[in-house]
Amino acid sequence: MKIFIWSRISTATYNYHSEGGVVVIAEDEPTARRIANEICGCQIAVHENPDVVRECSDWDAAVFIFPDAGCC
């Protein structure tokens, strides 16, 4: 498994402030993108590449969305 970290993407949620960060644990980047984009509102664009990719062991697949809080 690997951990993929996008520190900021344009559409992490359907919230008013849609930008945010995404962390995904998956076997490879295509799978990471697919399972993240299955979360309601998350849309990692093709041109948005992960900022960090690291190996990790003994972890199950998971997605963590960190939406921007904005000013409201």
Q: Where are the beta strands (DSSP E) in 1-72?
A: 2-9, 20-26, 52-55, 62-67
Look at residue 71 in the predicted model and tell me its pLDDT. Answer: 66
Q: What is the pLDDT of residue 35?
A: 97
**Model pLDDT, residue 72:** 59
pTM listed for this prediction = 0.90
Question: How many H helices and E strands in the chain?
Answer: 1, 4
Q: What is the mean pLDDT of each run of 10 residues along the chain (72 residues)?
A: 96 90 97 95 97 92 88 62
C-alpha span between 26 and 10 (Å, rounded):
21
Length of the chain: 72
User: How many Cβ atoms from other residues are within 10 Å of residue 20's Cβ?
Assistant: 22
